[in-house]
Each structure stands twice: as C-alpha cells, then as structure tokens.
Amino acid sequence: MEGLERRVRETVEQYHMLDSGDRVVAAVSGGADSVCLLALLCTFREPWGVRIRALHVHHGLRGEEADRDADFVRSLCEGFHVPCHILKVDVRGFAAEKGMSEEEAGRFLRYEALEREAADWEDEDRTGPDGGSADSSVRPVKIAVAHHSGDQVETILHNLFRGSGLSGMKGIVYRRGRIIRPLLDVDRDCILKWLADHGLSYVQDSTNDTLHYTRNRIRNQLLPEIEQYVNRGAAGNILRLGHLAAQADEYLENQAAAWIKAHVRKNSGAYIPAEVFLGEPEILRSYVVMSLLKELGGASRDLGLVHVSQVMELAGRSVGKQVDLPYGLAAIREYEGIWLGRGDPAAEEGWGDLPIVDMEVFSRKKGMEFPKNVYTKWFDCDKIKGTPVVRTRRPGDYIVLADHNHKALNRFMIDEKIPRQMRDKIPLLADGSHVMWIIGYRMSEYYKIGPDTVRVLQAEAGQTRERKE
C-alpha cells in the first residue's frame, strides 16, 4: 500500500470515519483534492462495501470555466462508475439577498446541497420498491469533503487573525456530524504526486490564484513568506499547535459540561450561581458561558469572545444590570447570580426567592475594619426606627442618596435602568418604607456608619430560602 493511501486509511480508522457498508456522498469540484478524494474512496468500495455518490455544485460564477468543470466531473464519475449529481446554484444572488460575501454564500450553498443529497439518499433507502417503508433504521449517509493539511494551516491562521479562542485555533475538525475529512493529514504536494503517479487529471479553478479572497492571500502570499523568511517548518508547527489546541479545547469543554451539570439551574433559561462561578479560573468560566450561550441560542456563528466577556463581567456588577446578546438572548445580574435566556426570567419557577439575611448587633470599637463582602453591610443601629424586614418593593418606598435627598425607590430603579420585570423581585432590607439596603446593589446613605456611631447592625445576606431548605 502506498504512503498516501496508508496515511488516509489510518486517518479514516483513527477517527472512525467509515464503517462496512456505509454510503458516502463525495463533494467533487474537479480540482486535484476532490479527484484524489473520490479515487481513494473508490478503493474502499470492495474491501469495505462502501457505496459512493458524487455531488458537484456549479456556482454560476465563472462562465465557461465552471461549465467545463461540471463536464469534467461528470466524465470522471462515469469512469469510476459513481452516480453523479450536478447542481447549479446562484451564489451571487444568494450573497446579495443575505448580505454576505460570495465566498461565504458559496460555502453555505455547497454544504446545504450536500446535506440535502445525503438526506434524499436516506429517504430512498427507507422506501421500498412499492413506495412503502423498507428500513427505518438505516445508518446516516456520510459526506466526504477534500480538505487537506494545507487547508488546516490556512484555517488556523485565519482564525488566529480574526481573534479566535482555542476552539478556532484547533482548525478544521476531522468529523462533524455526518461530515468526514479523510485527507486532513496529507499535504497538497503528496496529493499532486499521487495523482501524477496514477495518471489522474484534474481541473484548475482560476479564482484560486487571485488575491481577492482572504484564504487565497494566506495560501499564496502570507504562508510562503513565513516559510521563506521565518521558519521553513512553519506549516508543521502550526499543525502541531492546532492539535494541542484541539486537546485543550476538548478537555475544557468536558470540564465546563461537568461544572454546568453540578451548579447551573435550568428551566427555559439558565441560572449561574455567582459565588462559586467567581471562584473558578477565568478560562473555565469562559467555557461555561460559551457552552450555555450555544445551548440556549441554538447556534454559535454569531457568538464571540466579546459576548462571553460581557456575561462574565456581570458577575462583578450590581443587581439588575443586563446585557443583550445574539439570538434574542439576554444576561441579567440577579441577587445570587446571572440569569441567561430569552423572555422574562421572573416568570421562571424559583426566580427572585428572598435571601436569608443574618443580623447581629455589636458595639463599635476603634480600629474595626468595614466588611469587604458585597453581601455584608454595616448600619448605624441607633438610626433604625423599627424592625428591619427582608422583602420586595412596596408603594411609598424610598432611599436616601449621597446628597442626603430622599428618592422614591421606583424612580431610583428607573434611573438605574433596572429591567421592569426585575423590579418586583429584587430583595430589600427595609425599615418601614425606608429602604436600608437594595441587596446586592447599594445601601441608604442615612444608615451609614459615622464618627458618632456607637452600635452596629451587621446584615449578611446568604442563600435564598428555597435553596437553603
């Protein structure tokens, strides 16, 4: 067995890409990489019983050259006795309609067509000759695409320059869902040599030589200069970095999943407890947040590190602060943590439960240090007129601000931009109508410790009553 064939077979086996009797839709553009992919897949037909179909997507962008490519693929597949479907799409029109680049539109339409081709094949095999159900338990059809190690290097660099995290630095994954990439461990030079040795021709896409697309600039300009002037082994080093990033990313995703299972309360949204969350390393916190955002949003394309940072910053902010996120999601700082989701968090069962506030009175002594915990406050006990009560807001409530003026609590919450749905749920420590402390937010200026304070009331807010029980 030749070197390239052996390496591809090892990749297929290592990542469990194919099983005996599998059906595979091969994406065939007619370029060197996809011709090599199709030819290698055909070598698996007899020993593994693999069935193959090919799909060529005509983008409608390159006129006669694109027509030539489609004719070439049709002829190639006939020679390999592989059923072939030529599909024409309007990339330019789709790009204009969706407000994306032609490069992005082409990629989207290609993968959409491949998924549809695979699904149609599954439907065929589920339907018997008479139109009835033949087999409802058939395995999913695989989709094989021809990315090689050079594409991997380009992807890692592209993601690096775009500010990606570890997930982007791992580059292209070997398999995702039904998609497999058997050539990902072989380079372009090996592919070209293998094709030449086997007398296989291919077509050239003229747009690959232009510098119009970002990936082309990385491939044709940037990477060659790095290898010439920085390190001839740069591509290999970048690939090793990608493997390390993939291992680290997988480990951290598993750690985040375990943390979420242990600590996050889920209903229609998700509730992150702030105290234990802040005690974790920043990298784990970021993975927890991103995992929850992906789960709640149902997608990840529009999510970035900036959104993760916005959510993480809420843990150190005051109750009621909110950030809006992609996919209609919001993150809201509550008394004990951060709520993530859509709609009204107050509608969720258990949301807004009043905390237990432990109180004790002691004499103030010289040199005593004020508590630094945001959920522990000192009040001048002799200024309290009644019995402090933990409750939510009521009509007539007010708070005294730094200028010693009274301000209606309702107006204070509006001015502080506390979301309407949260205002009736924020816990308060109140002395009659005078709000001593908006718990987790701020206390009334009137009750602050001064030089004449003799006795101190210490109030420490702990868990909510429901979670305590």
Residue 416 or residue 197, greater confidence: 197
Q: Is 291 marked as binding a ligand? A: no
**CB within 8 Å of 157: residues ≥ 6 apart:** 218, 222, 223, 238
Starting at the edge strand that comes first in sequence, how are the strands of the sheet with 51-58 ordered?
Answer: 84-88, 51-58, 23-27, 142-144, 179-180, 175-176
d(CA 383, CA 445): 11
The CATH class of the 1-125+137-146+171-212 domain is alpha beta
Alpha-carbon distances, residue 409 vs 364, 378, 430, 443, 457 (angstroms): 30, 21, 11, 12, 22
What average pLDDT does range 198-219 have in this prediction? 82
d(CA 52, CA 28): 12
Q: Which of 439, 160, 152 is nearest to 319 (CA)?
A: 439
Q: Is 257 marked as binding a ligand? A: no
| pLDDT tens digits, 265-313 | 887 789 999 889 999 999 999 999 999 999 998 888 778 888 999 999 9
CATH 3.50.40.10 in the chain: give the residue spans: 355-459
SS3 state of residue 274? helix
Confidence (pLDDT) at 345: 64
Widest distance between CA atoms in the chain: 97
Compute φ and ψ for 401, nearest 5 degrees.
Answer: -95, 180
Per-residue pLDDT band for 347 (boundaries 50, 70, 90) equals low
What average pLDDT does range 70-98 have in this prediction? 93
Q: Is 80 exceeded by the pLDDT of residue 101?
A: yes
Where does 122-231 show beta strands of DSSP type E? 142-144, 175-176, 179-180
What average pLDDT does range 442-469 have in this prediction? 80
Tokens of 156: 């890692």
Confidence (pLDDT) at 133: 56
Confidence (pLDDT) at 136: 52
Tokens of 41: 């897949």
- Which amino acid is residue 44, in one-letter code? F
| CB neighbour burial string for 408-418, b if at least 16 within 10 angstroms, e if fewer | ebeebbeeeeb
Q: Is 32 marked as binding a ligand? A: yes
Q: Is 60 exceeded by the pLDDT of residue 466?
A: no
Alpha-carbon distances, residue 447 vs 137, 388, 399 (angstroms): 71, 12, 10
Confidence (pLDDT) at 186: 95
Q: Is 60 exceeded by the pLDDT of residue 215?
A: yes
| CB neighbour burial string for 217-253, b if at least 16 within 10 angstroms, e if fewer | ebbeebbeebeeeeeeebbeebbebbeebbeebeebe
Most confident among 59-63, 357-361, 431-435 (mean pLDDT):
431-435
The CATH class of the 263-340 domain is alpha beta
| pLDDT tens digits, 18-54 | 999 999 999 999 999 999 999 999 999 988 999 999 9
Per-residue pLDDT band for 352 (boundaries 50, 70, 90) equals low
Q: Is 440 marked as binding a ligand? A: no
Q: Is 50 exceeded by the pLDDT of residue 113?
A: yes
Alpha-carbon distances, residue 427 vs 128, 142, 221, 320, 399 (angstroms): 64, 54, 60, 11, 14
Tokens of 402: 């730094």
d(CA 150, CA 168): 16
Q: Is 402 marked as binding a ligand? A: no
Starting at the edge strand that comes first in sequence, how are the strands of the sheet with 265-266 ordered?
Answer: 265-266, 270-273, 337-341, 330-333, 322-324
Per-residue pLDDT band for 442 (boundaries 50, 70, 90) equals confident
d(CA 208, CA 30): 13
d(CA 90, CA 112): 13
Q: Is 70 exceeded by the pLDDT of residue 465?
A: no
Q: Which of 422, 419, 383 is nearest to 404 (CA)?
A: 383
The CATH class of the 355-459 domain is alpha beta
Measure CA 385 to chain center: 52
CATH 3.40.50.620 in the chain: give the residue spans: 1-125+137-146+171-212
CATH 3.30.465.60 in the chain: give the residue spans: 263-340
List the Cα angle 70/76/78 in 5-degree steps: 105
Residue 252 or residue 356, greater confidence: 252
Q: Is 50 exceeded by the pLDDT of residue 468?
A: no
The lowest-confidence range among 304-308, 373-377, 420-424, 436-440 is 420-424
SS3 state of residue 109? helix
Q: What is the pTM of this model?
A: 0.69
Share of the chain above pLDDT 70, in %: 93
Compute φ and ψ for 280, nearest 5 degrees.
Answer: -95, 160
Residue 403 or residue 78, greater confidence: 78
d(CA 313, CA 321): 10
d(CA 123, CA 125): 5
387, 356 in Cβ contact below 8 A? Answer: no
Q: Is 80 exceeded by the pLDDT of residue 343?
A: no
Q: Is 54 marked as binding a ligand? A: no
Measure CA 158 to chain center: 18
What average pLDDT does range 106-110 have in this prediction? 92
| pLDDT tens digits, 146-189 | 999 999 999 999 988 888 888 889 999 999 999 999 999 999 99
Tokens of 28: 């065939």
